[in-house]
Structure 1
Amino acid sequence: MKILFSPSETKNSGGDKKNFDKNSVIFPELFNKRLEILNSYNNFLKTATVSELEKLFGTKKYDVIEKYKMNIFKNPLLKAIQRYEGVAYDYLDYENLDESSKKYIDENVLIFSNLFGVIKASDQIPDYKLKQGETFENLKIEKFYNESFSDILDKYLEDEDILDLRAGFYEKFYTIKKPYYTMKFIKDGKVVSHFAKAYRGEILKIIAQKKINFFGELLQINIPNLNLIEIKEQGFKKEIVFIIN
């Protein structure tokens, strides 16, 4: 099973002083495609005004802007699953998982970055900042990655069961073309959005601990405080609907 996951706008600093190259990320044969976006990003940082950087980064904090306006290729590298922090990643609690669960995540989770495109949890990436939905040099980043990486992703995922835990925005980076599962969370009759991140992280942790590989195994797991009430089917998508206790 492969699990598609969202990134986070907040990142952990630090890492190893290594060069970011084609061996740092999945699909090295398309590394030059990534470089098109990354080089455009770096070039924009060199010439952007303060107001443009505030919009790009989603902050007006001077120290944050100063930190992130530097050349990202000079930043140390860290495993993607450790680079991101935020609600989903807090609930996943990767650092405190046993080694076999970490290995499962490293090998089976694909994160859809709004700057790097699709990456494996184990890929090595530098620290960066790009607010969700923002762009630079008039690029349509999600369209670029969708067009550039869809064929190779189709082949990579063709023999895998897929659980899509991405937030809606990141679905624009890749459209799944085979049956897959996703999840919805309801509390007091309303769809939960922000706190759904916590459940996505918790569910990913349970899946990793139980080493789930197939849809049938996925539907058998018990998740604390969640009751499965129905599975809605629409085209390729099977949406597992949970009520939060």
Structure 2
Amino acid sequence: MMKILIPTAKELNKKAMPQEGLKLSEKSLEIVAEFAKFSTLDLAKVYKIKEDKAMEEFSRWQDINNNTAKSYKALELFNGLMYRNINRDNFDEADKKYVEENVFITTSLYGVIGAYDLIQEHRLDFLQNVKISGRSLKNFWRANYDESIEDENLVVSLLSSEFEEVFSKKQREKFIKISFMEEKDGVLKVHSTISKKARGKFLTELVKNRVSSVEEMKKIQFDDFKFSAENSDGRTLAFIAKR
């Protein structure tokens, strides 16, 4: 079995369909209780956002705390650039089964969850400087994150460093990382926007081709991206698009 890890996104999909049946874990409830104490002004400082946006976050935390927040499938609710480049609307039943078995989302509110597990509208990542029971969010979740991949032999990371660093160094050494670069005039460049789009499209290729090994991954091609052996090593697969 292969575990593919993807990060969350700040942007949410307003067209996602509400679902029933989410029950929060003890750890999630602890975080919610902490954030529900914050005023709008507190949240503006925590998130470094303007007060009108902080009012929206205040309302969301109160709804989650009061158990009145709607729930959505995580893969459908997150809507950042990577998610918009996952061909999720066209997944058939076999695709969805592969996603259920192999794709997991690293979150700062729920831990490591299945792609179709339920979540609520919220804004939280590991950059917020908030202590939960005296610990940073990364330390608060580390043991759970490590446990989620404890018995896995093949862990594919499509994560940013922010999310990778929640795992202990020992567990990070298991990761097969994927890097996406553009080559222009013989110069290789890594670009955040291009990487986010490429992660979404790469994940789509993994799903559609039912990829289950590193060798199969190396055969993936999309948007001019091809595997480059000379720019790869034992733990990182480099895909380069010549422009």
Instruction: Give the shorter-chain TM-score range.
Output: 0.7 to 0.9
In 2, Cα distance between the equivalents of 1:35 and 1:92?
30
Q: CA deviation at 1:132?
A: 5.2
**How far 1:229 sits from its partner (Å)?**
1.9
Query: Alignment partner for residue 50 of structure 2, among 52, 60, 70?
Result: 60
- Residue 223 of structure 2 corresponds to which residue in structure 1? 224
Choose which of 146, 150, 159 in structure 2 pairs with 1:150.
146
Identity %: 23
Provide structure 1 residue ranges, at least 5 long, that are not aligned to the other structure. Answer: 23-30
In the aligned structure 1, how far is the partner of 2:91 from the partner of 2:48?
A: 32
Structure 2 counterpart of 1:126, which letter? Q
Paired position in structure 1 for 2:10: 9
Structure 2 contact 221–227 (Cα < 8 Å) conserved: no
* TM-score (normalizing by structure 2): 0.82
- Structure 1: distance between partners of 2:57 and 2:162: 23
1:184 aligns with 2:170: no
Cα deviation digits, residues 69-126 of structure 1 (max 9, x gap): 1222321110110110011011103122222212222321111112222111011011
**Secondary structure, in 3 states, of the residue corresponding to 1:59?**
coil
Aligned length: 226
Structure 2 unaligned spans of 5+: none
Q: Which amino acid aligns with 1:154?
A: E
Q: Which residue, 135, 148, 159 being the options, matches 1:166?
A: 159
Which aligned pairs between 1:1-245 and structure 2 lie closer than 5 A?
1-13=2-14, 15-16=17-18, 18=20, 20-21=22-23, 31-44=25-38, 48-50=39-41, 52-60=42-50, 62=52, 64-70=53-59, 71=62, 72=64, 73-130=67-124, 133-137=127-131, 139-155=135-151, 157=152, 160-175=153-168, 176=171, 179-187=174-182, 188=184, 189-230=188-229, 232-233=232-233, 238-245=235-242
Amino acid in the other structure paired with 1:180: F
Which segments of structure 1 move beyond 4 Å, counting only runs of 4 or more? none
In structure 2, the CA distance between the partners of 1:115 and 1:163, relative to structure 1 (3 Å rule), is same
> Secondary structure at the residue paired with 2:22?
coil
> Matched residue of 2:192: which SS?
coil
Matches of 1:119 and 1:56, distance apart in 2: 25
Please give the alpha-carbon distance, in whole angstroms, between the structure 2 residues aligned to 1:10 and 1:144: 24
Higher relative contact order, structure no. (Cα contacts within 8 Å, ≥ 6 residues apart): 1
Alignment CA distance shift 1:61-1:41 (3 Å): closer
Mark the CA change 1:148 to 1:97 in structure 2 (over 3 Å): closer, same or farther.
closer
How far 1:55 moved relative to its partner? 3.2
